[in-house]
Amino acid sequence: MSQDSDFIFTDRFLNLKGQRVLITGAASGIGEAMAIRFADAGAECILLDIDGSGLEALASRLQAQGSTASVAKIDLERKSQIDAFWAGLSDESLPDILVNNAGVYALKDYLDIDETFLDSTLSINLNAIFWMCQHFIKRRLQKGGIIVNVSTIEAVLPFKKDLVAYGTSKAGVIALTRGLARDYGPHGFRINVILPGAIKTPSTKRLMKMAIQRFKVDLIKTGYDFQTRLAMGRWGVPDEVARVALFLASDLAAYVQGAVIPVDGGFLSS
């Protein structure tokens, strides 16, 4: 089906009716936009986050629009919770598409980082994706499936100070994606990674506000330099990342594998 090139409605490729998508970090920002976009394409959504009330609010919104959505309140820092979540899914209720979007902006001066901080950053930003992918692939080994991971521009071009642990965790997500794409492509898995940059979300707005309120001159200067690198001259909105995730999950991207795709208004290109 995905290899033909007849004239057909492009809509068909983007129609995810009958598909189930699991989106992590769905209660806020980019994840929330992804859920709305995937629901609009007809997918049934499993929304996962640590923020239970955010999840409920989004699920109600999607259900009010006629979509099917369920929620899973999970702390991705805890492997035991990830394992329990997958153990609770029957074979009939497995997702067809896995979007690993949840992440934390772990800011700390490199010299002040202790084991607890590093472990927590790596657990949420990298290990959780590692285990989520392992469960997904194990359970769907005979069927294949689609994974979209979320890393960051910081993983390939460290720009802001105090993000060494964050960048390290997110660079791992790129390596993980490419390794899995290589190993499991022949089993029918398509696996790609998005590198967002300069997307206005509750978290990035909070970080900007913090820099201004504390009048941290170096952070304000970095913010200014960052802004001037944006080839499009503006920040992006969460839905602009969600649209790329939808494309990667759809048959429009049928031959895209192991790709590292910046969605950053041209930050990495300038």
Ligand X SMILES: NC(=O)c1ccc[n+]([C@@H]2O[C@H](COP(=O)([O-])OP(=O)(O)OC[C@H]3O[C@@H](n4cnc5c(N)ncnc54)[C@H](O)[C@@H]3O)[C@@H](O)[C@H]2O)c1
**Cβ at position 124, least distance to ligand X in Å:** 5
Of 150 and 253, the one with the shorter C-beta distance to ligand X is 150
Residue closer to ligand X by CB (options 42, 56) is 56
**Buried b / exposed e along 201-238 (16+ C-beta atoms within 10 A):** beebeebeeebeeeeeeebeebbeebeebbeeeebbeb
Catalytic residue among 110, 166, 224, 255: 166
Cα gap 20→44, rounded to integer Å: 5
Please, what is the minimum distance in Å from the beta carbon of residue 183 to ligand X? 23
- The residue (of 50 and 251) whose beta carbon lies closer to ligand X is 50
What's the min distance (Å) between Cβ of 7 and ligand X?
36
- Listed in sequence order, the residues at least 6 apart from 109 whose beta carbon sits closer than 8 Å to its beta carbon are 161, 162
For ligand X, give the closer residue by CB, 152 or 192: 152
Instruction: Say whether 166 is catalytic.
Output: yes
Could you give the count of Cα atoms lying within 13 Å of 268 in the half-sphere of its Cβ? 16
In angstroms, give the least distance from the CB of 228 to ligand X. Answer: 16
CA dist., res. 49 & res. 73, Å (int):
5
Q: Minimal distance in Å, beta carbon 47 to ligand X? A: 10
CB 238 within 8 A of CB 30: yes
Can you give the binding site for ligand X, defined by CB under 6 A? 25, 27-31, 49-51, 54, 74-77, 101-104, 124, 150, 152, 196-199, 201-204
Which positions are catalytic? 166
